Amino acid sequence: MKVTWFGHSAFRIEYDQAVVMIDPFIANPTFDGDPVEAARGAPHVVVTHGHNDHVGAAAEICRATGATLVSNPEICDFLTKKGVERTEPINHGGELPFSGLTVAWVPAWHSSADNDGTYLGNPAGVVLIAPGEKTVLHMGDTGIFSGMELIGELYEPQIGLVPVGDRFTMGGRLAAIACKRYFDFETVIPCHYGTFGLLEATPEKFVEGMKGTATRVLVMERGVAEDL
């Protein structure tokens, strides 16, 4: 498996049989990338919730590459009006099998709307399950909540993509508590920090909170792929 972080919560996950873009806010204040180029070869774009810093360039990518949008029904309908032709709506508790990959939709504790106030469904995390590969949980934007224990029990994710920037999601201290109490991750990758002035500039509080555990904390460089 190869993972690329583009800053904020934008990731590219590459398996032998599948490639997925998640929350493609690629051209962000910390990574001035080309969204279409970043998503080249990815047949699926997953959007966890409706805030603009997560929807990002999803419509642009899907229009340019023909990728399928995977998100809740409200976001699928919203982006269909922006020219997205292929959608696969999903909601909490659902699992969607694709070629070489299954996408599972799990709760997140947050909000979800466009900047103009348009309601865009319930926020979510996403679990990626591929044969012979480590299971990935992208938590989306979320606070800590006890239902994380059930997500860990049901899917046993080995890789966690964890928001740590505080104010709008868990900060580093709470994110570390969530990872230690509710999951048994092999590797955790902090995200959703440093993008704007309102967020924590670094993941150091999370790194500090995870000390003494067997979990590897991987602080990624933006735009650089890592093999996991």
pLDDT in tens, 170-179: 999 999 999 9
Strands in the chain per DSSP E = 2-5, 11-14, 19-22, 27-28, 31-32, 44-46, 68-71, 87-89, 95-98, 101-107, 124-129, 136-138, 159-163, 187-191, 216-217, 225-227
pLDDT computed for residue 5 by the predictor: 98
Pairing of strands 44-46, 68-71: parallel
% of the chain residues with pLDDT over 90: 100
pLDDT computed for residue 163 by the predictor: 99
pLDDT computed for residue 166 by the predictor: 98
Superfamily holding 2-220: Ribonuclease Z/Hydroxyacylglutathione hydrolase-like (3.60.15.10)
pLDDT computed for residue 109 by the predictor: 98
What one-letter code names the amino acid at 114?
A: D
The three-state secondary structure class of 149 is helix
pLDDT computed for residue 71 by the predictor: 98
Any idea what DSSP says for residue 199?
S
Report the pLDDT averaged over residues 142-155: 98
Report the pLDDT averaged over residues 80-101: 97
pLDDT computed for residue 172 by the predictor: 98
CA torsion 214-202-49-32 (nearest 10°) is -120
pLDDT computed for residue 180 by the predictor: 98
State whether the Cα torsion 111-115-121-125 is positive or negative. Answer: negative
Confidence of residue 101 (pLDDT cuts 50, 70, 90): very high
pLDDT computed for residue 110 by the predictor: 98
pLDDT computed for residue 191 by the predictor: 99
Cα angle vertex 29, ends 26, 31, to 5°? 45
Tell me the average pLDDT of the chain.
98
pLDDT computed for residue 213 by the predictor: 98
pTM score of the predicted model: 0.98
**Alpha-carbon Rg for the chain in angstroms:** 16
